[in-house]
Structure 1
């Protein structure tokens, strides 16, 4: 029997999902409390939408977006500039063997949802969705 050793082929494990959610909540709390000594970062309201971890749990990718989506690049720069302090603050509250390296990227989920809504509201698409299929008539 050949065993599939690549977790990505099957998706994240339960442990990856659990740890990702724990990091997401902890990072959100740290940012909301203003625990980081950077006035620029503390002035921003940043949403952490999701955190995905690598199979070995040593790297976590945080998908973030500032409130309203404005100033996304400034928020990303501030998070990256304070990545070491954020890593320490998050790892203090976690009971993991290793403190994961946290990488930050802009969460584009909301943009994709808006684009999907826009496409579904087009007349051509609405007509196709609302018209009964001729094969079933």
Structure 2
């Protein structure tokens, strides 16, 4: 018998994780190959760090960052401008009933890792950790 997954605190289901990773790889490939007919978008090298899907798999949020971190707002604008073409390109490689709506957010994972490293490098924190 299937468990009732109505509690959002349990996190994403295996299917959500699997589909999110498939979308992430496909989107990264599409962007790397320059399959989108927008020269402004194709001049950026974009890393797709993670894709999270809604429980019904109809919305996929891609967390992206341009290589080197420069032009983040421009990249978001270009991705949103080309959202429908990206959706079609990604859906060609998916075997889902619905092609998910793509949403784009800046991936701040690297910034948070840098902040954590800086925090652990502080003398007071290092002293507390060592004791």
TM above 0.5, one fold? yes
Distance in 2 (CA, whole Å) between partners of 1:100 and 1:47 is 20
Q: Which residue of 1 aligns with 2:56?
A: 56
Q: TM (normalized to structure 1)? A: 0.91
Q: CA RMSD in A?
A: 1.0
Compute the displacement of 1:4 (Å): 4.7
Deviations 1:78-107 (A, max 9, x none): 000000000000001111110000100000
Q: TM-score of the superposition, structure 2-length normalised?
A: 0.95
Give the Cα separation in 1 of the matches to 2:7 and 2:85: 30
Structure 1 unaligned regions, length at least 5 = 132-137
Larger radius of gyration, structure 1 or 2? 1
Gaps (5+ residues) in structure 2? none
- 1:1-137 map, 5 Å: 4-131=4-131
Q: State the 4+ residue runs in structure 1 displaced beyond 6 angstroms.
A: none
Aligned residues: 129
